[in-house]
Amino acid sequence: MTYNPPIPQILLAMQTADRFAATQSGDLSPEDVQAILSEAGRFASERIAPLNPVGDRTPSTLDESGKVTTPPGWRETYQAWCEAGWNSLTGPTEYCGQGLPISLAVACTEFWNSSAMAFALCPLLTAGAIEAIYEHASQELKDRYLPKLVSGEWTGTMNLTEPQAGSDLSNLRCKAKRTGDGSYRITGNKIFITYGDHDCSPNIVHLVLARLEDAPAGTRGISLFLVPKILPDGSHNDLRCLSLEHKLGIRGSPTCAMAYGDNGGARGWLIGEENRGLNCMFTMMNNARLLVGTQGVALAERATQAAFAYARERVQGSAPGRDGTTSPIIHHPDVRRMLLEMRTRTAAARMLCMATASALDSSVNAQTEKERHRAYARASILTPLAKAYSTDIAVEVTSTAIQVHGGMGYVEETGVAQYYRDARILPIYEGTNGIQAIDLVTRKLLLGGGETLSQILESCRRTLSAFESCLPAMQAVADTEDLAKMLCDAPGGSLSLAVAVPFQRALANVVAGAHLAEAAALARGGALETEAAVNARFFIAVELVSAVAAAKASLSGADATGSDGLE
Amino acid sequence: MTYNPPIPQILLAMQTADRFAATQSGDLSPEDVQAILSEAGRFASERIAPLNPVGDRTPSTLDESGKVTTPPGWRETYQAWCEAGWNSLTGPTEYCGQGLPISLAVACTEFWNSSAMAFALCPLLTAGAIEAIYEHASQELKDRYLPKLVSGEWTGTMNLTEPQAGSDLSNLRCKAKRTGDGSYRITGNKIFITYGDHDCSPNIVHLVLARLEDAPAGTRGISLFLVPKILPDGSHNDLRCLSLEHKLGIRGSPTCAMAYGDNGGARGWLIGEENRGLNCMFTMMNNARLLVGTQGVALAERATQAAFAYARERVQGSAPGRDGTTSPIIHHPDVRRMLLEMRTRTAAARMLCMATASALDSSVNAQTEKERHRAYARASILTPLAKAYSTDIAVEVTSTAIQVHGGMGYVEETGVAQYYRDARILPIYEGTNGIQAIDLVTRKLLLGGGETLSQILESCRRTLSAFESCLPAMQAVADTEDLAKMLCDAPGGSLSLAVAVPFQRALANVVAGAHLAEAAALARGGALETEAAVNARFFIAVELVSAVAAAKASLSGADATGSDGLE
């Protein structure tokens, strides 16, 4: 199945996000943006997309010498991709990055991940490492590592998880010891390390969370270290890949169990201050959450394209009003309902990711300090919505794509089954969607004394009330405000935590619905205008209203989750 | 992960179904039922469950001679299972079947499929073949084939699908030719034939849909033939397995592309009348739909057990009210919400399947002709609900099971990823869930001039109104009645077809909600009583209310599915 980069839809999402936030996310001309997207889309569909089934059928392997080999074609394509400058798109300009806005990175990230998510994961992690190093590392470390990370010659990883410490990092056991020469010795095991070893680059820069011997217990005793695979003197550091996971999806990407310090300790250098490692990690995680949300958009888009193509071609039965002649299944009302659900959920997720990106860009580019602060607070609320909504719907939309294909969807050769398997990691990694919801209701809603949320809901209400026939939607906004108020009054209580996920989905629907309404007003010209109007109409009437009703119902049944009958 | 047969929950579902329908589904004593379930549960958990990962990792193979080999251990276990008498449970007594009620078959079917769905598929198809032959074949065919099909010595298949004819059978091309000796010659290809060839039994009885040369076009020109792999004279019939599908799940079960008549035509015998093959097929499909629904219950139950076990054991973070000490994740409110959703959806699906089974049993056993008719009409409405709801929630519940496991759920070794992959076929085969919904809104709702549906809704209303604090539920029943009325007024229109699936889900929730309320009233004693009360409370307040709200919203946005913007 060919992949068609949805450039008009992405441009509309960018334009909507900027208009909605009343800011400008960057100083590129529309022509520049269009040109970059065209080139990126071409590279993605022509060069990366063919790798996707290859990686699924020929996963990365680990040989006896401890060397990881990526699937056929991956190394060459990765290098060509870096040479074309795609890795350095948003990198800092002082390290030869192009310093382009995050909105543009999000657009391109969608292309790479629609084409082959297991392949595109590697630079996604490098981007996180660049950010953490740039924000928190010493000048010396920056100068030594950033140029090659920005160009993509070297890649980066995040080493958080240990067998006993997944969502809860307070429990980390990996150890760090001062050596006296400014470096540290790291020992311990990490699991689920994406691209922990591979053959696409000669060096890998591991960012590793570990605990100093004299560190306080819990999350306040965790430090972040830069631990390169190859040391500055060219020797191999004391670290290795122990094994690769056998996963449901993203099989092309090597998910490594890593051992540090089998022979006395891997050499590492501190990033930021001792015991403040989580702060540095969160810098990179926020951005990574947005990019994982974008992976959700990417898979949903790809699956939607596959379902539309199949529904146009597959002839079964006679649709109503077709006089008994057989029809392509796209004429059958229930198939149309599925396709519309897929398309609008994908568009909604893209709006949320682009809104977050635009707010992040504004938090850097806006003219006044106050505007920058407001934009950052806005991005903070939008990030869990973008991550959780986009990844939840990726699972749903890829599942519906299988349903549209019928039996053919269950056969691996068709390709949609891979999207379904790949998608299932998204609600889990970079903070499970339950963790996103806890972050939302216990921290983000309270930002600025609740002011940021009020502003977001207020602008949603304004936009939705300008949209045709949106009475149930206005009621849904009011219900969402009531729910938010209730949650803000008891942020950490069992009841609010039990409804956090359905509330997160409801709020995401309200924000996305408002963006789709705005997009329908902005879209001009032929197919895109019709599509935007239909999307907004269906999404607001069906999706938004249902999601808010589900959150309300969830609250009224939340007491049952507290019962003893569960244990 | 050990499988624990949920015998108390199944007994409660049986009791509820009988009470709800005011009938008695069979004349077995409670002690007999308990004894049979205990034995079946033991065989399932001890003998069948160990096969499940084996089949997934070592799928059936086809060798160059055209022979299919099932995974290690399957043949021996299948034979032991037949010898223990499990295949003949519901078979007709005149062919050495035990003639036990369908309710009991549904209970046992849950056990077999919770243990290893790919394994349990084979007898599920044999049961369909037995039914079609028993109802429609000549005495000679019955006497020749039923004894060995009932004992399980031989197995059966259904051959419907061809590449160009999936949901729409009017388009079938497989041909049949009269020979003059009362038999026919069959030629053509079939795809997606479950257990089309295998090594568990010496003979396989294929039921094949084909078209006589002089048959009218469309579905009125299709006949059903019995085509054995081995002919009565001991020679091999002219049929073979061409290839096996490479599937997302149920990998242990061989899904065959079959060729009939490479050498002049496979010998077959007519079942029922010429050109009336679809009637015979529908006999077996209705029952098969209930059993596929039961497969959904089975996978949901297995995944729920795995999630509870993991949540009790995995320690992460500190739950509210636990004074900052770390907790098993079952103490976290959002995890509890997921677990409760999984458990109640599974219980609801079981109620629907058992209600259908009980109605089918009553349609045979009830005292008066009128009662039998009413029970049959009731089963007709309940069948699409049981099939569609149970299989949809199987996909959702197995997905949530992965979420509860976090990263460990994405690793194949944990086992829940297999349930997720296996479950995805269920909303597709035996009539997609969209087809179930079309059947529901264009035919089933209209049964008896709408009288059957009215009676069902009336008894739901009665039961729910007796349940504590069910005001929103009563509103939901009223909304469902309004929706049903609207659908009955325009049964084949685009609008009603576009909301058929959400309506089907809403109606399933209302019926299941009423059964769970009844079960809460019936359950006596300790853990089961608490569980039934919590299930009913949560399901009615959250699930039922949300599903009906979604169906209503779906109606208000249904016009968008008709727009040109989709093509």
pLDDT > 70: percent of chain A: 98
| Token pair recorded at residue A534 | 């239909």
- For residue B25, is pLDDT > 70? no
Contacts of B422 in chain A (CB under 8 A): none
Region of residue B332 (phi > 0: left; psi between -120 and 50: alpha; otherwise: beta)? beta
The shortest CB-CB distance from A316 to any of B167, B399, B527 is to B167
Band (A24; pLDDT cuts 50, 70, 90): low
User: Side-chain half-sphere of A122: how many Cα atoms within 13 Å?
Assistant: 34
Q: How far is CA A192 from CA A281, B58, B404, B454, in A?
A: 16, 26, 17, 54
pLDDT on residue A8: 96
Q: Where are the domains of chain A?
A: 7-151, 155-275, 433-561
CA-nearest of B100, B71, B229 to B155 is B229
Angle at B82 between CA B128 and CA B398, to 5 degrees: 65
Contacts of B427 in chain A (CB under 8 A): 403
User: B338-391 pLDDT, tens per residue?
Assistant: 999 999 999 999 999 999 999 999 999 999 999 999 999 999 999 999 999 999
The answer to whether the Cβ–Cβ distance between B407 and A429 falls below 8 Å is yes
The shortest CB-CB distance from A534 to any of B472, B537, B560 is to B560
pLDDT on residue B327: 93
| Token pair recorded at residue A442 | 């216990």
| Token pair recorded at residue B29 | 């004593």
Name the amino acid, one letter, at A246. Answer: H
Q: How far is CA A511 from CA A35, A113, A354, A458, B134, in A?
A: 29, 24, 12, 10, 59
User: Side-chain half-sphere of A209: how many Cα atoms within 13 Å?
Assistant: 31
pLDDT on residue A112: 98
pLDDT on residue A562: 83
Band (A523; pLDDT cuts 50, 70, 90): very high
CB of A428 within 8 Å of any CB in chain B?
A: yes
CA–CA gap between residue A239 and residue B326 (Å, rounded): 31
Helix (H, G, I), strand (E, B) or coil at A315: strand
CA–CA gap between residue A158 and residue A166 (Å, rounded): 13
CATH number of A155-275: 2.40.110.20
Phi–psi pair at A276, nearest 5 degrees: -115, 25
Contacts of B335 in chain A (CB under 8 A): 434
pTM above 0.80, yes or no: yes
Q: Which of B430, B481, B518, B543 is catalytic?
A: B430
Portion 111-140 of A in contact with B at CB < 8 A = none
Q: What's the whole-number average pLDDT of chain A?
A: 95
Contacts of B303 in chain A (CB under 8 A): none
Q: With contact defined as beta carbons under 8 Å apart, do B131 and B284 qualify? A: yes
Angle at B302 between CA B301 and CA B307, to 5 degrees: 95
The answer to whether the Cβ–Cβ distance between A424 and B399 falls below 8 Å is yes
User: A307-344 pLDDT, tens per residue?
Assistant: 999 999 999 998 888 888 899 999 999 999 999 999 99
Mean predicted confidence (pLDDT) in B308-326: 91
Contacts of B438 in chain A (CB under 8 A): 334
CA-nearest of A420, A152, A458 to A296 is A420
Portion 198-237 of A in contact with B at CB < 8 A = none
pLDDT on residue A285: 82
Phi–psi pair at B157, nearest 5 degrees: -135, 165
Band (A25; pLDDT cuts 50, 70, 90): low
Which has the higher per-residue pLDDT, B325 or A306?
A: A306
- For residue B239, is pLDDT > 60? yes
Q: What is the chain A residue with the closest CA to B529?
A: A565
pLDDT on residue A132: 95
Helix (H, G, I), strand (E, B) or coil at B512: helix
The answer to whether the Cβ–Cβ distance between A407 and B549 falls below 8 Å is no
User: B514-529 pLDDT, tens per residue?
Assistant: 999 999 999 988 899 9
Mean predicted confidence (pLDDT) in A494-507: 95
User: B394-446 pLDDT, tens per residue?
Assistant: 999 999 999 999 999 999 999 999 999 999 999 999 999 999 999 999 999 99
In A22-71, DSSP assigns E strands to 61-62, 68-69
CA–CA gap between residue B13 and residue B347 (Å, rounded): 8
**A55-64, A459-468, B186-195 — which is least confidently predicted?**
A459-468
- For residue B24, is pLDDT > 60? no
Please tell me the distance in Å from A543's CA to the nearest CA on chain B: 8
Q: With contact defined as beta carbons under 8 Å apart, do A348 and A513 qualify? A: yes
pLDDT on residue B412: 97
Query: Under CATH, to which class is B7-151 assigned?
Result: mainly alpha
The answer to whether the Cβ–Cβ distance between B534 and A494 falls below 8 Å is no
CA–CA gap between residue B387 and residue B375 (Å, rounded): 18
The answer to whether the Cβ–Cβ distance between B557 and A550 falls below 8 Å is no
CB of A410 within 8 Å of any CB in chain B?
A: yes
CA–CA gap between residue A249 and residue A227 (Å, rounded): 28
CA–CA gap between residue A144 and residue A165 (Å, rounded): 31
CB of A526 within 8 Å of any CB in chain B?
A: no
Contacts of B161 in chain A (CB under 8 A): 407
User: B86-101 pLDDT, tens per residue?
Assistant: 999 989 999 999 999 9
CA–CA gap between residue B168 and residue B155 (Å, rounded): 26
**A247-251, A550-554, B109-113, B448-452 — which is least confidently predicted?**
B448-452
Portion 251-310 of A in contact with B at CB < 8 A = none
Q: With contact defined as beta carbons under 8 Å apart, do A287 and A357 qualify? A: no
To the nearest 10°, report the CA torsion of B491, B494, B500, B506: -90
Portion 35-54 of A in contact with B at CB < 8 A = none
CA–CA gap between residue B495 and residue B555 (Å, rounded): 8
Portion 69-98 of B in contact with A at CB < 8 A = none
Q: How far is CA B141 from CA B205, B228, B404, in A?
A: 11, 11, 51
Mean predicted confidence (pLDDT) in B173-192: 97
Neighbours of B16 (CB within 10 A): 27
Contacts of B334 in chain A (CB under 8 A): 434, 437-438, 497-498, 500-501
Whether B430 is catalytic is yes
The shortest CB-CB distance from A565 to any of B332, B429, B531 is to B531
Band (B455; pLDDT cuts 50, 70, 90): very high
Q: Which residues fall within 8 angstroms of residue A514, CB to CB, at 6 or more apart? A: A20, A459, A460, A463, A464
Mean predicted confidence (pLDDT) in A5-26: 85
pLDDT > 90: percent of chain B: 86
How many contacts, defined by CB atoms under 8 Å, are there between A and B?
267
User: B459-507 pLDDT, tens per residue?
Assistant: 999 999 998 767 888 999 999 999 999 998 887 788 899 999 999 999 9
Mean predicted confidence (pLDDT) in B298-321: 95
Helix (H, G, I), strand (E, B) or coil at A206: strand
The answer to whether the Cβ–Cβ distance between B411 and A312 falls below 8 Å is no
Band (A519; pLDDT cuts 50, 70, 90): very high
User: B124-169 pLDDT, tens per residue?
Assistant: 999 999 999 999 999 999 999 999 999 999 999 999 999 999 889 9
- For residue A27, is pLDDT > 80? no
| Token pair recorded at residue B196 | 């089309």
User: B192-232 pLDDT, tens per residue?
Assistant: 999 999 999 999 999 999 999 999 999 999 999 999 999 99
pLDDT > 90: percent of chain A: 86
B426: DSSP letter: T
What is the value of ipTM here, to two decimals? Answer: 0.97
- Reduce the secondary structure of A337-379 to three states and give it as a string: HHHHHHHHHHHHHHHHHHHHHHHHHHHHHCCCHHHHHHHHHHH
A184: DSSP letter: E
Q: Which of A110, A430, A518, A531 is catalytic?
A: A430
Q: For helices B433-442 and B500-522, what crossing angle results, to 10°?
A: 90
pLDDT on residue A559: 86
